[in-house]
Structure 1
Amino acid sequence: MSKATLPTFPSMLRQLAALGERLRLARMRRKLTAELFAERMGISRETLRRLERGDPTIAMGTYMRALRVLGLDRDIDLIAKDDELGRKLQDLALQPPKSRAGSPRTAS
């Protein structure tokens, strides 16, 4: 029985393709051939081809190895570094509830 996979959102496919292209350009700027780059990463040439095309089935560890070989591995630390939405939600939960205008207050 084969494992069911969830469909990948089109926006995610575009992001992965753009990431793969950026990695390909970084490789080329360093004058690394695909064969040498794949060898340094410890992957096959076919896997590298899929990575550079943005294949969503490529493991995160493979992307990490690509970044390491290119000297860009610190860039991964910038992903989700500042959770702006989470902080806003947290701040909203910390605020006391606003009293309703015009509601009479009851004495205790």
Structure 2
Amino acid sequence: MPKTSLPPFRSVTKQLAALGERIRLARLRRKLGSAQFAERMGVSRETLRRLEKGDETVAIGSYMRALRILGLETDVDDVAKDDVLGRKLQDADLM
């Protein structure tokens, strides 16, 4: 059975583009060239270009490697840390 992929949500596309831009700016502030940064990440310059554009087909592991090299990997620890909606749903189910 062939693999099908759904088009990404428009909001997700915007978020990925913004994340890629923030990674690019962090790389530039550290004066890391694209070739050097891609080599440290273990990816091609084309993959780095796609990552910095927010391409949704780039593996999340590549984003994590980029953040690690930039010293920003702990920022990911805050994602979904406080699941307000989930807690409300859980509390409502207890009643």
Q: Shorter-chain-normalised TM-score: which range?
A: over 0.9
- How far apart, CA to CA, are the structure 2 residues paired with 1:45 and 1:74? 25
- Cα RMSD between the aligned structures? 1.1
What is the DSSP-based 3-state SS (H/G/I as helix, E as strand, rest coil) of the residue aligned with 2:92?
A: helix
- Unaligned segments of structure 1, at least 5 residues: 96-108
Paired residues in the alignment total 95
- How far apart, CA to CA, are the structure 1 residues paired with 2:78 and 2:8? 23
**How many angstroms does 1:94 deviate by?**
2.0
- How far apart, CA to CA, are the structure 2 residues paired with 1:23 and 1:3? 30
What is the DSSP-based 3-state SS (H/G/I as helix, E as strand, rest coil) of the residue aligned with 1:19?
A: helix
One-letter identity of the residue aligned with 2:48: L
Identity of aligned residues (%): 68
What is the DSSP-based 3-state SS (H/G/I as helix, E as strand, rest coil) of the residue aligned with 1:75?
A: helix
- How far apart, CA to CA, are the structure 1 residues paired with 2:31 and 2:19? 18
Structure with greater contact order relative to length (CA < 8 Å, sep ≥ 6): 2
**How many angstroms does 1:2 deviate by?**
5.0
Q: How does 1:1-108 map to 2 (within 5 A)?
A: 3-95=3-95
**How many angstroms does 1:42 deviate by?**
0.4
| Larger relative helix fraction | 2
- Unaligned segments of structure 2, at least 5 residues: none
One-letter identity of the residue aligned with 2:10: P
Which one has a bigger Cα radius of gyration?
Answer: 1
What is the DSSP-based 3-state SS (H/G/I as helix, E as strand, rest coil) of the residue aligned with 2:31?
A: coil
Runs of 4+ residues deviating >4 angstroms:
none
- How far apart, CA to CA, are the structure 2 residues paired with 1:70 and 1:24? 10
What is the DSSP-based 3-state SS (H/G/I as helix, E as strand, rest coil) of the residue aligned with 2:68?
A: helix
